[in-house]
Structure 1
Amino acid sequence: MPATPVETDITPITVGTGALARSIAMRIFRAGVVPSHPALVWLGGYRSDMTGTKAIEVEAHARLVGADCIRFDYSGHGSSAGDYRDGTISRWLEESLAVLDHAARGRMILIGSSMGAWIALRLIQELRRRGDGERVAGLVLIAPAPDFTAELIEPNLTDAEKTSLAERGYFEEPSEYSPEPNIFTRALIEDGRDNLVMTGPIETGCPVHILQGMLDPDVPYTHALRLMEHMPADDVVMTLIRDGDHRLSREEDITKLKRAIDAMLTKA
């Protein structure tokens, strides 16, 4: 599997003011003075960062096709400042908007993985509210987890986890991807209720391609099917990968991701 030959330099941007200020790390690849395609914007998942396999491969593909590529880490993730336990969807959405305003030239294709798909859908809502919705030329969602706090976490809380949330403000669960446990805070869950997207029709105004593994232990493929049902007016394609897991980082998965991106570039 090819990888980016030389890692793109980190560029910082400050988001927020005063006590809420945080430094967000970006890696911006410029294809040229005037790019011939929409920029590829990577939106990572919960506790992932912009140096993961899929993010690196997205930039490698951008270099190949002649598109800008924007990667960044939410606060508390990767090379950005802060503690992820302080994060909420609203906080990470604010950072994502700031990155787009700073780094994106013209139109773009949002590529959201897991929680990043939720951020991508909220970004489109905010851009459409500002009158900038036409800037999004396409949407690629990988194992999408919109509304995961309300749809996947809250209904499955144990009595012990409910008690921990009430008494400590968070609960822990083992992570398959890190020796450190995942920590989900009361603030994240409560803020998630203010950012729900699957409460009615979702209008993106652009083509959408969903890639979903049927053996995903974290986000069941039925969740992606429900998401698709909320997009009745959009051009939506779903690729179900029978033996795919949540990461979808195998060579064959990356190939499907690149084909989905190419399809978006063709339509742009």
Structure 2
Amino acid sequence: MNTSPPQFLDVKGTNIALRLRAGREPGIVWLGGYRSDMLGTKAEWLDHYAAEKGLAFLRHDYSGHGESGGEFRDGTISSWLEQSLAVFRHFASGPQILVGSSMGGWIALRLIQELQRSGERERVAGLILIAPAPDFTSELVEPQLTHDQRRQLADRGYMEEPSDYSPEPYIYTRALLEDGKTNQVLKGVIQTDCPVHILQGMEDRDVPYAHALRLVDHLPVDDVTITLVRDGDHRLSRPQDLELLSRTVSSMVDRFKARQSIQ
């Protein structure tokens, strides 16, 4: 595990922790999931991969996550997107391959939209989504809310749900659910203008693979590949899953180099 101390970027008064490995283009940018951090298995694996290949690698913790400041309960998709954009613009140079895991897949899709809006569409060379969870607040969480959980949201502004990955429960705030609606991407055509590769476990109990297939339907313009891992769970962190991730990144890097060579 990388134990080097992180750098910090102040984003509207919150210290966002990040780690940057210098290297060649295309760089790799990691966008983690809900309540995960940049020292998780897949992020550490990609750091090792980038070091081995001599590629740049950038990762950060959202506010309320990992080594970053701020309270987790204050976080929303909009605030975590804003932090991700700030880190990207301050520390990434040249074309990048975005790797978004779970909620990070949603952040990645929104980040691309914001870069396109500001005339920076050439900054994204490829997109790899691992068990992507775009619109998960409205599509996966809200439909499953019990009467008691809806009452918790109304009475105290948040609700709790047991987690399979931590003794601490998942916490969903009313602000997160409401803000999620303003960031929905599964409402029309999504155009990333780059190759997209989705890795999805078919035994994923958190984000069913049908959700990934639905995302593909919203990407009719892009070159999209989806790899379904029959016995894969949500994390896709087993040795064979990590090797698949390496092969997927290598393929994306090779495609970028091939495009560069004919320009």
Deviations 1:49-79 (CA, angstroms, capped at 9, x unpaired): 0000100011111111111000110000000
Q: Which runs of 4+ in 1 moved over 3 A?
A: 6-9
* Number of residue pairs the alignment of both structures matches: 256
Shift of 1:156: 1.2
Shift of 1:13: 0.5
In structure 1, the partner of 2:259 is none
Of residues 92, 97, 108, the one that matches 1:109 is 97
SS of alignment partner, residue 60 of structure 1 = helix
Q: What letter matches 2:5 in structure 1?
A: D
In structure 2, the partner of 1:97 is 85
Whether 1:25 aligns to 2:13 is: no
Distance in 2 between residues matched to 1:123 and 1:169, nearest whole Å: 27
Unaligned runs of 5+ in 2: 257-263
Shift of 1:8: 4.1
In structure 2, the partner of 1:207 is 195
Distance in 2 between residues matched to 1:158 and 1:129, nearest whole Å: 38
After superposition, the Cα gap between the structure-2 partners of 1:8 and 1:140, relative to the gap in structure 1 and judged at 3 Å, is farther
Whether 1:170 aligns to 2:170 is: no
In structure 2, the partner of 1:59 is 47
Whether 1:137 aligns to 2:125 is: yes
Deviations 1:181-219 (CA, angstroms, capped at 9, x unpaired): 111000000000000001001000000000000000100
Root-mean-square deviation over aligned CA pairs: 0.8
Query: Contact between 1:8 and 1:29, CA under 8 Å: does it hold in 2?
Result: no
SS of alignment partner, residue 55 of structure 2 = coil
In structure 1, the partner of 2:145 is 157
SS of alignment partner, residue 15 of structure 2 = strand
The TM-score normalised by the length of structure 1 is 0.94
Shift of 1:155: 1.0
Q: What letter matches 2:153 in structure 1?
A: L
Deviations 1:37-59 (CA, angstroms, capped at 9, x unpaired): 21100000000000001000111
Quote the sequence identity (%): 59
Of residues 186, 199, 219, the one that matches 1:198 is 186
Q: What letter matches 2:109 in structure 1?
A: L
The TM-score normalised by the length of structure 2 is 0.96
Query: Contact between 1:11 and 1:27, CA under 8 Å: does it hold in 2?
Result: yes
Distance in 1 between residues matched to 2:60 and 2:117, nearest whole Å: 23
Of residues 7, 12, 21, the one that matches 1:11 is 7
In structure 2, the partner of 1:85 is 73
In structure 2, the partner of 1:229 is 217
Q: What letter matches 1:12 in structure 2?
A: F
SS of alignment partner, residue 68 of structure 1 = strand
Deviations 1:73-113 (CA, angstroms, capped at 9, x unpaired): 00000000011111000000000000001100111000000
Deviations 1:211-266 (CA, angstroms, capped at 9, x unpaired): 00000010000000000110001010000000000000000000111111011101
Unaligned runs of 5+ in 1: none
